[in-house]
Amino acid sequence: MNPNATEFMPGRRNGPDGGLEALPTSTADMELAKTPAGAAAAAVHAPSLPGAVRRSLQNSPIIQPSRLSVKSASEIEAISKNSALNAAAAAYVPQRTLARVVLTQPSPLALAPSEDPAKNNIEMMLDDLWCLFYLPTTLGENIKEEDYNPTLVFRVDSILTFWRVVNNIAAPSELQLSTLYLFRDGIDPKWEDPANRDGGIVKVKATAAQVDEAWELLLCRTIGDSWSPSVRETVNGVVLKVRERAYWLELWVTKNSSALQKDLAELWHPILGASFATTYLTHAMMQERSHAAAALAAEKQKKNRRRY
């Protein structure tokens, strides 16, 4: 994968070539980003895109910007120490002056693995390919099975692309109601997937003040495969649910274990404190609850029709 972000992260502007804002790839780019209003829009240029992609982007709604918080080098180093990611990853996280973007619809672009081994070595390849999915959510928590279809947003195969993706998605506390999924390549974020079918979900509730740090640490721990040896191969993916009254962090695992609970306590107790508590539900239990809720809703609709 080419380190030049503009080749796969198009600049956002009006017209058919619109898209996500390009990340600065040098200090010169960062200075351009600081230019006065009116000139800033001209500082970022989008590369030429294939016609099909341009049409897809043109049909997408405008992505709303939100304010970006800048992480210091010491904060980035502290995050790296909580995962197996090389601390050198900080070199790939610029002092970000551009606004983050809030995903209101899935991006049609994907960061695909590079076919050039030399570039792969430069970018510090991850042991596994990871896929980020996105699902917009209405006010209701229950989603009909026919409407449950998370869309692939990005593929991440290196530390560099991981930070580029993370830096271009708003913090959880700034996201609209939605769900983000980060899963190993080849595993769909669905109960029916063979890799998930016999497993379950470990759920943890967080507040707006806690969720940003808790989610970022979970991503780093997962991408870096920094779980205990007995836990590492049981983690299929992680999920962030942004809901009206709470935030939920989930791990989709093939099995629950005391080692997993210990890892989660070490990761999150310093952030969540006394509110830290986990709940484990098998996918079979979740599916039964979903079917029961759907049946109840259908019965209520039937009764309402009879009244009129």
User: In this predicted structure, what is the pLDDT of residue 307?
Assistant: 66
Overall CATH class of domain 69-307: alpha beta
- The residue ranking higher by pLDDT, 300 or 65, is 300
Per-residue pLDDT tens digits for 204-214: 999 999 999 99
Per-residue pLDDT tens digits for 242-252: 998 899 999 99
User: In this predicted structure, what is the pLDDT of residue 195?
Assistant: 95
- The residue ranking higher by pLDDT, 277 or 301, is 277
User: In this predicted structure, what is the pLDDT of residue 27?
Assistant: 42
CATH 3.30.760.10 maps onto the chain at 69-307
User: In this predicted structure, what is the pLDDT of residue 71?
Assistant: 55
Rg (CA), the chain: 20
User: In this predicted structure, what is the pLDDT of residue 226?
Assistant: 92
Q: How confident is the model at residue 13 (pLDDT cuts 50, 70, 90)?
A: very low
Contact 24, 30 (CB under 8 A): yes
Q: How confident is the model at residue 147 (pLDDT cuts 50, 70, 90)?
A: low
User: In this predicted structure, what is the pLDDT of residue 64?
Assistant: 39
- The residue ranking higher by pLDDT, 64 or 148, is 148
Q: How confident is the model at residue 137 (pLDDT cuts 50, 70, 90)?
A: confident
Phi, psi of 194 (to 5 degrees): -55, -30
Winning range, highest mean pLDDT, from 92-106, 125-139, 211-225: 211-225
Q: How confident is the model at residue 258 (pLDDT cuts 50, 70, 90)?
A: very high
Whole-prediction pTM = 0.60
| One-letter amino acid for residue 66 of the chain | S
Rounded to an integer, the average pLDDT of 163-184 is 93
User: In this predicted structure, what is the pLDDT of residue 131?
Assistant: 96
User: In this predicted structure, what is the pLDDT of residue 253?
Assistant: 97
Q: How confident is the model at residue 301 (pLDDT cuts 50, 70, 90)?
A: confident
DSSP string computed for 15-28: STT--SPPPP-SHH
Contact 127, 84 (CB under 8 A): no
Per-residue pLDDT tens digits for 53-109: 333 333 333 333 334 345 555 665 565 555 444 333 333 333 332 233 333 333 334
Helical ranges in 224-252 per DSSP H? 229-232
The DSSP H or E segment spanning 180 is strand 178-184
Helical ranges in the chain per DSSP H? 27-33, 40-43, 51-59, 73-81, 117-122, 159-167, 208-223, 229-232, 258-272, 283-307
Checking if the pLDDT of 255 tops 90, the result is yes
Average pLDDT, the chain: 71
